């Protein structure tokens, strides 16, 4: 009986010591996955821009469609919110920097884990499609489309969410 009580007390003590390290590891793994998502979008946009020619006609624009899934499970920290959007929309405290650093939309992946502040990862080389609101990511997966277009005399790579129920967008929706 004494051995059992002593074994349980030691196990509880070891668990109490290891719990902060486990929480840090979960947060670190989640941050790494979120950074991987931002890098994937950036690289896919760069590949699209490098390997294609931008055109103004929405029916002929080169595009890439892929699914982004937020990390979840026991080995990952819970994510309360993850959004892709312009700095002014997803990180309002840093919005003043946008006017001085860039013209237009500086795209960011902003996320907030439980009991933590908002963290951002930049997605350079990609912009949000016109008339698009910030894109909410989910653990169930979010379908994104990158298009390489000619807009206002410049080549741009635009990001847009595709609704799961409406994957065949019309040319009017792409404008």
- State mean pLDDT over 64-83: 89
Q: In what order do the strands lie in the sheet with 107-113?
A: 118-122, 107-113, 79-86, 135-136
Percent of the chain with pLDDT over 90: 28
Nearest to 174, CA basis, from 67, 62, 85 = 62
d(CA 135, CA 70): 13
pLDDT, tens only, 19-67: 777 778 888 888 999 999 999 999 999 999 888 888 888 788 888 999 9
Q: Where are the domains of the chain?
A: 2-174
The pair of three-digit structure tokens given for residue 43, joined into one six-digit string: 């690289």
Based on C-alpha coordinates, what's the Rg of the chain?
Answer: 21
pLDDT, tens only, 103-131: 567 889 999 888 778 889 999 988 888 87
| Residue 152, pLDDT score | 83
Stated pTM of the model: 0.78
Residue 92 banded pLDDT, cuts 50, 70, 90: low
- State mean pLDDT over 77-105: 70
| Residue 1, pLDDT score | 85
Higher pLDDT, 95 or 66: 66
Nearest to 132, CA basis, from 89, 99, 165 = 89
The pair of three-digit structure tokens given for residue 106, joined into one six-digit string: 């500086």
């Amino acid at each position: 009986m004494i051995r059992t009580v002593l074994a349980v007390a030691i196990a509880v003590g070891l668990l109490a010591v290891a719990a902060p390290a486990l929480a840090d590891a979960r947060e670190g793994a989640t941050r790494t996955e979120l950074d991987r998502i931002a890098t994937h979008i950036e690289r896919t946009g760069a590949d699209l821009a490098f390997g294609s020619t931008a055109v103004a006609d929405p029916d002929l624009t080169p595009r890439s469609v892929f699914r982004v899934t937020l990390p979840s499970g026991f080995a990952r920290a819970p994510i309360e919110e993850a959004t892709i959007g312009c700095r002014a929309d997803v990180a309002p405290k840093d919005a003043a920097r946008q006017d001085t650093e860039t013209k237009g939309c500086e795209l960011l992946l902003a996320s907030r884990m439980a009991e933590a502040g908002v963290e951002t990862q930049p997605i350079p080389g990609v912009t949000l499609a016109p008339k698009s609101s910030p894109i909410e990511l989910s653990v169930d997966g979010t379908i994104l489309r990158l298009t390489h277009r000619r807009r206002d005399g410049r080549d741009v790579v635009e990001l847009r969410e595709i609704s799961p129920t409406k994957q065949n967008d019309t040319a009017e929706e792409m404008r």
